[in-house]
Amino acid sequence: MSAESFVVGVGMTPFGRMKERSFESIGQEAVLKALKDAGIERHQVDEVFCGSALTGRSMGQRVLRDIGMTGMPITNVENACSSGSTALRDACTAVAAGRAETILVLGIDQLSRLGGGTIPQLESDFDPNLGMVMPALYAMRARRYMHERGATSEHLARVAVKAHEAGKHNPYAQYRNDITVEEVLASRMIADPLTLMMCCPTGDGAAAAVVTTRKRAQALGRPLIRVAATALQSGVFKTGFRDMVQSELTMRTAKLAYETAGIGPEDVNLAEIHDAFAIAELMYYEALGFCEPGGGPALLDSGATRINGAKCVNPSGGLLCRGHPVGATGIAQLCEAVWQLRGEAGARQVEGARVALTHCTGGGVAGLDHGSCAINVLVAG
Amino acid sequence: MQDTKQTESAPPKVPEYFPVDRPWEESGGLTHLVGMRCSACGTKAFPARGVCSHCCAQSGMEPVRLSARGTLYNYSEVHVAPKDFPTPYVIGFVDLEDGVRVFGQIEGPASALKPDQTVETTTGIVRVRANGTPVISYKFRGVPS
């Protein structure tokens, strides 16, 4: 990129079910917090990118209208679970192009308005007509992963326990409680082997960030958090065999992110990864290079991915505990990364964090690993 | 569908088929899915499409009878599903012997299945509409080894 991008302000709503609130007010709360954190006025925003996946159209305009942020270019971005991260990438591209100096990025969704249950899939593919639901897609991955890697349901349960162990300290998390392996295993079966507590909750929320140039970041006097990579890839279509244990899409996106940032997986102090279902965390440990292929269960067992471990994963609680209002997730991950790199994460602070990675992937499209995968690298200083 | 008998007391619902063009054939006691083969590059795929995803040929897609058997790559017994799908039911990915991967329901129970086992194509009810209409499609079942 020709110009570097820096995150100078972040803010988010607590995640949870907020059916009584309008999505506009949820989004406005996040936006106003991010502007305040950046120390800028609303009229200083040159351009806006808004990521959302399920709630509606023209989300950016609908959120910003009533706080008088109108007139500037607003681009609404839909890219399934990667919508928020894709919006961040677009913002950095606009900075790099020299087109805008100060950009607002918003991620938002309100799933409680959709009713309960699993997220509806588009029926133009055969799969949803035959009974495919997202939890079951991950359950099938889990079944194969357990077969090939020797992982057990207890490993899956321990991923959820670890998520809550960190997330209970996160004031923005949908759940703030400790859970036990026994409780996770005894919770209602959703899609074997995944029980309810191995699945992320549906919920509502918004997260926002202000992205700008190095010069303006320095002028604002905020801690310098550099966006060192915003890698985005889409799933590759296969008509035949696909390895559903090793995520080719996440591996490919991670390679691009590491190359762009000039780092390797060993340099990452903390990662916010897309644990929509507990099995995903084990798969993505491997795909992100935090361990060798096959090493997922052992890495979890080692404790290295807990808050005080050498490779902390999901200090926010991840999707399993913080929650997953789809379009908001990528920016919520960004918020966590920024707070961690500034040393502002309180009881869930990863000591000495300098490099953070955020990872989103999703979008059920038949024949693809996932619709998209987005990986960002954030570096302090 | 013409063999469905209507009775006075409880008229059975005429089943629907998914997909409506019923891309399968019975032959010699076996059920074969009918997919496509690109005459330009030989790529086989299911379901059939108008353009070859491999070489981008826009014509010359021939219907092809796919292998009746394959191996079960993975599966899950689903307990929470959209309301048309009576739970539990089992779904999985099957790698047919000619290399095409197909998603579908698997005749359960899941406890009787294991990864990499041989399965064969069959047909049966995959969902029941709110008005009671069964939907029939292709599915797979385990083959005793």
Gap between the Cα atoms of A141 and A125, Å rounded: 19
Confidence bin at A363 (pLDDT 50/70/90): confident
Residue in chain B lying closest to A129 (CA): B18
pLDDT at residue B1, as a whole number: 43
Q: Is the ipTM of this complex over 0.85?
A: yes
Residue B30 burial (CB < 10 Å; 0-12/13-18/19+)?
middle
Residue pair A333/A316 in contact (Cβ under 8 Å)? The answer is: yes
B137: chain A residues, CB-CB within 8 Å: 129-130
Structural domains present in chain A: 5-114+203-224 (3.40.47.10), 126-199+229-380 (3.40.47.10)
pLDDT digits (tens, 9 = 90+) for A248-290: 999 999 999 999 999 999 999 999 999 999 999 999 999 999 9
Q: Is residue B134 part of a domain?
A: yes
Contact A118 B73 (CB under 8 A): no
Among A361, A363, A365, A362, residue whose Cα is nearest residue A126: A365
- CB contact (8 A) between residue A133 and residue B101: no
Separation between Cα atoms, residue A330 and residue A84, nearest integer Å: 5
The answer to whether residue B4 is domain-embedded is no
| Chain B residues lying within 8 Å of A190, measured CB to CB | 78-80
> For residue range A161-171, what is the model confidence (pLDDT) as tens digits?
999 999 999 99
Alpha-carbon distance values, A69 to A48, A60, A73, A86, A129 (Å): 10, 10, 10, 22, 42
Chain A touched by B137 (CB under 8 Å):
yes
| pTM tops 0.90 | yes
Work out how many domains chain B is built from and give that number: 1
A10 class by beta-carbon count within 10 Å (0-12 exposed, 13-18 middle, 19+ buried): buried
The C-alpha atoms of residue A357 and residue A227 are separated, in whole angstroms, by 10
pLDDT at A253: 98
> Is B124 domain-assigned?
yes
Nearest to B101 among A128, A192, A242 (CB): A242
Binary contact (B18, A130; C-beta < 8 A) = yes
Of A153, A281, A126, nearest to B93 by C-alpha is A126
Is A321 considered catalytic here?
no
Domain range for B133 is 16-142
Distances (CA, A) of A14 to A33, A173, A280, A323: 12, 6, 23, 9
* Cα(B44)–Cα(B49) distance, integer angstroms: 10
Peptide bond into B115 cis (omega under 30): no
Rounded distance between C-alpha atoms, residue A319 and residue A201, angstroms: 8
Which residues of chain B make contact with A129, given a CB cutoff of 8 A? Answer: 18-19, 126-127, 135, 137
Residue of chain B with shortest Cα separation from A147: B115
Instruction: Please give the average per-residue pLDDT across A151-155, as a whole number.
Output: 98
The pLDDT tens digits for A240-257 are: 999 999 999 999 999 999
Q: Does B24 touch chain A (CB under 8 A)?
A: no
Q: Chain A within 8 Å of B136 (Cβ-Cβ)?
A: no
Beta carbons within 8 Å of B142's beta carbon, 6+ residues apart: B72, B106, B107, B112, B113, B117, B118, B119
Find which of B80, B83, B96, B101 to mutate to test the A interface (most A CBs within 10 Å of its CB).
Answer: B80
Averaged pLDDT score across all residues of chain A:
96
On the question of pLDDT at A96 being above 90, the answer is: yes
